[in-house]
Amino acid sequence: MSETGQPLSSNVPGARFPRLESGRLVFRFHAPDAKSVRLPAPGDSLGTEPVEFARDADGFWTGAIDAPGPGFHYYRLQIDGLLVNDPGSQAFSGYGLAASGVEIPEPGNTEAEFRDVPHGDVRSRWYHSTVTGDWRQLLIYTPPGYDAASSRRYPALYLQHGSGEDETSWSRQGRAGVILDNLLAASAAEPMLIVMGSGYPAPPAEPGTPPSPERIQQVIDGFGDVLLRDVVPLVDGLYRTKADRDNRALAGLSMGGRQALAVGLRSLEQFAWLGGLSPAVWVDGTAGRGWTVGPDWVQESLKASGEFRPRHVFLTAGSLETQFVTAIEDLAGMFTEVGIEHTSYVSPGTSHEWLTWRRSLVRLAPLLFR
Amino acid sequence: MSETGQPLSSNVPGARFPRLESGRLVFRFHAPDAKSVRLPAPGDSLGTEPVEFARDADGFWTGAIDAPGPGFHYYRLQIDGLLVNDPGSQAFSGYGLAASGVEIPEPGNTEAEFRDVPHGDVRSRWYHSTVTGDWRQLLIYTPPGYDAASSRRYPALYLQHGSGEDETSWSRQGRAGVILDNLLAASAAEPMLIVMGSGYPAPPAEPGTPPSPERIQQVIDGFGDVLLRDVVPLVDGLYRTKADRDNRALAGLSMGGRQALAVGLRSLEQFAWLGGLSPAVWVDGTAGRGWTVGPDWVQESLKASGEFRPRHVFLTAGSLETQFVTAIEDLAGMFTEVGIEHTSYVSPGTSHEWLTWRRSLVRLAPLLFR
């Protein structure tokens, strides 16, 4: 079969499919015994109606959908009703498992693309948690020049993933290090560390099980315990940080946005800068049992922080995820009411997806530590 | 259903299966529309005959096999004839794709286990290859104390993965950093960097396609070009290495063992220490078209290195992979013939698998740079 177009950068090395061909995303794989193949699977976010694939005489199945928008999207193949990974794709932590994904380039936009600029390292560091008793991984972005500037100290952004993801998600799906490399090359942000740890203080619920309100509260509070008792002291001990509130930011996406705001607002002696990207914070009645808060949530949360106030709060959502746009509008109102400086950004034409959060990081990082 | 035993550390967070129960490895997952499930799939190395799983009324399939030996093993589920990932497992680069895997603990042996000792970082560094024209990832282990000892310089071990794997394999499946942390805590090795890059100078062949002899030669030669023109200069420029042959080692497993020996023997002005772990180097007629060499291979390869000779060559295989035991016996004979010091190690009771290579690293690292 003749092939045009390009394999995706999210493919495993050597996999020719999935590939982009003239605005279509083409999938192909070998499954000689399968009876039917559909994509996208239910719940996936590729943005089109399911398409039935066709089988050729050699047992290869081929199908194409209109390419989704730029950025990263999780997906699975549906083969004879079973949701499975595409053998051509790398695996990415999402959906609470190791899922397939497609990386769709955005013509003309290289914010999150590798460029010929100085690059930082993303370090993997394992540690034994005094809170949970297990071994946990942190990923730490150190900016270009960190090794050579052997006495310089840096501020740190603590950046949290969403539900069903893990500490690798911001680096791989979010391309956080690449985004910072590019911002720093343009002198558009202060050189900083980015610390990415797991948002789960205990194993998450089985995929597909909606968590109870009690469990949600445990995930928020337990995350705070791990962050404050394990992660921040470890990072300040191992890396050359400026170890004070003015030089620490805490932000996250979705579940992680709720965690960042909830833990940050009551720990302002530790963090002066906060960010909620598509944060799961809904004012009474809007949505999401367990994630719902009262109209005085910000004011109430501040009480634990005494006289400390955030220097800036950054709120973002995608324009198509209207529930989250409402959430940040409600939050913006609450921050205004207590006189806290804040900025909102709505990513045009994006939903609850990584392009929203990449764009948010591009706009959040330049505001920090200035 | 009642559950005893332990989920595996190779599971995704929260997944209760696969789990070890009294010497059995129990699998369970939801596939209500499936007609039949078998494990292991053909070609997998879990070491037992395939077992048919049983379906319960809720659409969950459960099955158990005798637990394989300790260490890491790739696997896939076979559902209605289709080879798929286990949703409970993390994904690991193997088989040329993102495969499922099980990590089986070895009672009483903590060589490759996290312990309460100082830990190094494993850094991810992306670079643009002048040889291949694409962006590539290196993983670099820096030992405990590297950051604090800001003027100390270190030797470096370049360590290559096998066929179908990638630059993450030695760190994740091989636990190279954990092994070094433990050796260093016991003062059993010199503090060193470990540099882990891709062994594929061009995309690998499609999984299942046996490479031609020409392609094998390209993979060996192209790897050498990337290593010598890109990787070594980059590492010497970015990290505090001792940048000379006496402080550089080159080793690899299987395909990577062949690459390390072939490239190392002709580049001895760059590398004084070589290691072949289950190396794909067979003397005429033994096996493997394309991987076969003549009885003077070592002598011939040395010619390009002029007067330089290896300070030590380390050869290993698992006792159950007899073809590779023969390979290292033949190699040992060739090294003896040319008067090059070498050590052989045969891992008892292991095959072409990660426990062989972890044990090999435990024994290789202490010999280096002394």
Distances (CA, A) of A213 to A289, A324, B162, B182: 7, 19, 47, 42
The answer, yes or no, to whether residue B198 has pLDDT greater than 70, is: yes
Distance of CA A88 to the CA centre of its chain: 23
Tell me the shortest Cα–Cα distance from B176 to chain A, in angstroms. Answer: 13
Hey, are the CB atoms on A147 and B96 less than 8 Å from each other? Answer: no
Hey, are the CB atoms on B33 and A88 less than 8 Å from each other? Answer: no
CA gap A111, A176 in Å, rounded: 10
What tokens appear for B125 in the block?
């560094």
Hey, are the CB atoms on A123 and B124 less than 8 Å from each other? Answer: yes
Q: Which of residues 114-143 of B touch A (CB under 8 A)?
A: 114, 116, 119, 121-128, 135, 140
Average per-residue pLDDT in chain A? 94
Hey, are the CB atoms on A121 and B124 less than 8 Å from each other? Answer: yes
Alpha carbons within 13 A on the beta-carbon side of A314: 25
A166 touches B: beta carbon within 8 Å:
yes
Q: Which of residues 238-257 of B touch A (CB under 8 A)?
A: 238-240
Interface test with B, best of A121, A178, A215 (most B CBs within 10 A): A121
The answer, yes or no, to whether residue A288 has pLDDT greater than 70, is: no
The answer, yes or no, to whether residue A118 has pLDDT greater than 60, is: yes
Determine the pLDDT at residue A81.
Answer: 87
Chain B residues with beta carbon closer than 8 angstroms to that of A128 = 114, 116
Determine the pLDDT at residue B355.
Answer: 98
Interface test with A, best of B37, B82, B115 (most A CBs within 10 A): B82
Determine the pLDDT at residue B213.
Answer: 86
CA gap B264, B271 in Å, rounded: 6
Nearest-Cα residue of chain A relative to residue B81: A33
What amino acid is encoded at A315 in this protein?
L
Mean pLDDT of B7-24: 94
The answer, yes or no, to whether residue A133 has pLDDT greater than 70, is: yes
Mean pLDDT of B190-194: 98
Chain A residues with beta carbon closer than 8 angstroms to that of B33 = 80-82
Q: Are B252 and B161 in contact (CB under 8 A)?
A: yes
Q: Angle of helix B255-265 relative to helix B213-225, nearest 10 degrees?
A: 60
The DSSP H or E segment spanning B27 is strand B24-30
In this complex, the residue of B84, B121, B238 whose CB is nearest that of residue A123 is B121
Mean pLDDT of B62-76: 95
- Who wins on pLDDT, B69 or A44? B69
- Who wins on pLDDT, A38 or B336? B336
Q: Which residue has the tokens 């501040």?
A: A302
Q: Read off the pLDDT of residues B238-278 as tens digits, 9 standing for 90 and up.
A: 999 999 999 999 999 999 999 999 999 999 999 999 999 99
SS3 B315: strand
Nearest-Cα residue of chain B relative to residue A164: B13
Hey, are the CB atoms on B147 and A239 less than 8 Å from each other? Answer: yes
Chain B residues with beta carbon closer than 8 angstroms to that of A85 = 84-85, 91, 98
pTM score, whole prediction: 0.96
The DSSP H or E segment spanning B21 is strand B19-21
The answer, yes or no, to whether residue B2 has pLDDT greater than 70, is: no
**CA B324, B326, B330, B333 torsion: positive or negative?**
positive
Torsion of CA A70, A72, A78, A83, to 10 degrees: -170
Per-residue pLDDT band at A44 (split at 50, 70, 90): confident
Size of interface A-B (CB pairs under 8 A): 131
SS3 A32: coil
Q: Are B144 and B120 in contact (CB under 8 A)?
A: yes
CA gap A174, B128 in Å, rounded: 20
Chain B residues with beta carbon closer than 8 angstroms to that of A82 = 31, 33-34, 79-80, 82, 84
Strand partners, B20: B6, B25
What tokens appear for A245 in the block?
């509130």
In this complex, the residue of A13, A85, A127 whose CB is nearest that of residue B84 is A85
First-to-last C-alpha distance (Å) of chain A:
56
Average per-residue pLDDT in chain B? 94
Distances (CA, A) of B210 to B169, B216, B257: 21, 10, 18
3-state SS record for A267-287: CCCCCCEEEEECCCCEECCCC
Determine the pLDDT at residue B212.
Answer: 85
Q: Read off the pLDDT of residues B279-310 as tens digits, 9 standing for 90 and up.
A: 999 987 655 578 899 999 999 999 999 999 99
What tokens appear for B72 in the block?
């890491």
Chain A residues with beta carbon closer than 8 angstroms to that of B123 = 121-124
Determine the pLDDT at residue B35.
Answer: 92
Count the Cβ atoms, other than its own, within 10 Å of residue B321.
19
Distances (CA, A) of B42 to A91, A211, B47, B49, B50: 22, 38, 11, 10, 8
Determine the pLDDT at residue B205.
Answer: 65
What amino acid is encoded at B82 in this protein?
L
Q: Give the range among A260-264, B153-157, B202-206 with minimum mean pLDDT.
A: B202-206
CA gap A99, B323 in Å, rounded: 36
Hey, are the CB atoms on B98 and A80 less than 8 Å from each other? Answer: no
Q: Residue B283 contacts by C-beta under 8 Å, 6 or more apart in sequence?
A: B292, B293, B294, B295, B297, B327, B330, B334
- Nearest CA among B367, B323, B362 for reference residue B106: B362
What tokens appear for A310 in the block?
């955030």
DSSP assignment, residue B75? E
Q: How many residues does chain B have?
A: 370
Q: Read off the pLDDT of residues A308-333 as tens digits, 9 standing for 90 and up.
A: 999 999 999 999 999 999 999 999 99
What tokens appear for B239 in the block?
């990290």
- Nearest CA among A117, A165, A118, A163 for reference residue A139: A165
Mean pLDDT of A239-247: 98
Tell me the shortest Cα–Cα distance from A252 to chain B, in angstroms. Answer: 19
Determine the pLDDT at residue B284.
Answer: 75
- Nearest CA among B179, B48, B37, B161 for reference residue B102: B48
Tell me the shortest Cα–Cα distance from A325 to chain B, in angstroms. Answer: 30
B42 touches A: beta carbon within 8 Å:
no
Q: Which residue has the tokens 């010999």?
A: B367
What amino acid is encoded at B10 in this protein?
S
Hey, are the CB atoms on A12 and B116 less than 8 Å from each other? Answer: no
A93 touches B: beta carbon within 8 Å:
yes
Give me the interface pTM, i.e. the ipTM. Answer: 0.95
Hey, are the CB atoms on A14 and B116 less than 8 Å from each other? Answer: no
DSSP assignment, residue A245? G
Determine the pLDDT at residue A93.
Answer: 96
The answer, yes or no, to whether residue B1 has pLDDT greater than 70, is: no
Chain B residues with beta carbon closer than 8 angstroms to that of A121 = 123-125, 140
- Nearest CA among B87, B145, B270, B163 for reference residue A206: B87
CA gap B30, B11 in Å, rounded: 16
Q: Which residue has the tokens 């080692």?
A: B249
Determine the pLDDT at residue A287.
Answer: 54
Mean pLDDT of A95-108: 94
Q: Where are the beta strands (DSSP E) in A161-257?
A: 193-197, 248-253
What amino acid is encoded at B39 in this protein?
L
- Nearest CA among B315, B366, B311 for reference residue B345: B315
Q: Angle of helix A255-265 relative to helix A213-225, nearest 10 degrees?
A: 60
The answer, yes or no, to whether residue A178 has pLDDT greater than 70, is: yes
Count the Cβ atoms, other than its own, within 10 Å of residue A51.
16
Tell me the shortest Cα–Cα distance from B122 to chain A, in angstroms. Answer: 5
- Who wins on pLDDT, A149 or A48? A149
CA gap A201, A220 in Å, rounded: 8
The answer, yes or no, to whether residue B11 has pLDDT greater than 80, is: yes
In this complex, the residue of A91, A126, A240 whose CB is nearest that of residue B91 is A91
Tell me the shortest Cα–Cα distance from A335 to chain B, in angstroms. Answer: 35
Q: Read off the pLDDT of residues A184-213 as tens digits, 9 standing for 90 and up.
A: 999 999 999 999 999 999 876 665 667 788
Q: Which of residues 293-332 of A touch B (CB under 8 A)?
A: none
Tell me the shortest Cα–Cα distance from B193 to chain A, in angstroms. Answer: 14
What tokens appear for B326 in the block?
């023969």
Chain B residues with beta carbon closer than 8 angstroms to that of A15 = 97, 206
Mean pLDDT of B89-112: 95
Nearest-Cα residue of chain B relative to residue A199: B13
Torsion of CA A197, A200, A204, A208, to 10 degrees: -70
DSSP assignment, residue A12? P
Distance of CA A16 to the CA centre of its chain: 27
Chain B residues with beta carbon closer than 8 angstroms to that of A123 = 121-124
